């Protein structure tokens, strides 16, 4: 199991100092890629297989997940965020982007953002 092997490596006192900046998800990914390589898969095949095993469903109700599954989903989302984030050092970084959204449709008002005369 790649997850168990990654946890053992991360928690090993001998390697702990070197791996404290490496997430458990990254170690699981590394083990999965190595397992695929040893099984004769190419890097692209192993990576595709790993990504298919770790999907994020935008329609999924994460309030119903247990703590372990929720942490797993958050880790996946954090990795995707860091991968897609624009940093100041990036050549195509723009500090202040202004976007005009089309107003073709009639806007619906929401009840939660309407000011009411009632004080809480």
- pLDDT at position 26 is 83
Percent of the chain with pLDDT over 70: 84
Whole-structure pTM value: 0.48
Domain boundaries, the chain: 1-54, 55-88
Nearest CA to 82 out of 32, 120, 25, 35 is that of 25
Which of 40-44, 65-69, 75-79 shows the lowest mean pLDDT across its residues?
Answer: 75-79
Asked if residue 118 has pLDDT above 70, the reply is no
Q: Convert the pLDDT of each residue in 4-19 to its tens digit.
A: 888 888 888 898 888 8
- pLDDT at position 116 is 58
């Amino acid at each position: 199991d790649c997850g168990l092997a990654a946890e053992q490596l991360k928690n090993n006192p001998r390697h702990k100092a070197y791996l404290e900046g490496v997430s458990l998800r990254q170690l699981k990914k590394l083990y999965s890629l190595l397992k695929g390589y040893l099984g004769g898969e190419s890097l692209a095949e192993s990576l595709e297989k790993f990504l298919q095993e770790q999907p994020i469903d935008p329609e999924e109700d994460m309030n119903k997940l247990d703590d372990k599954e929720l942490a797993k989903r958050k880790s996946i989302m954090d990795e995707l965020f860091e991968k897609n984030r624009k940093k100041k050092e990036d050549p195509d970084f723009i500090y202040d982007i202004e976007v005009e959204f089309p107003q073709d449709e009639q806007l619906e008002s929401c009840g939660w953002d309407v000011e009411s005369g009632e004080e809480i």
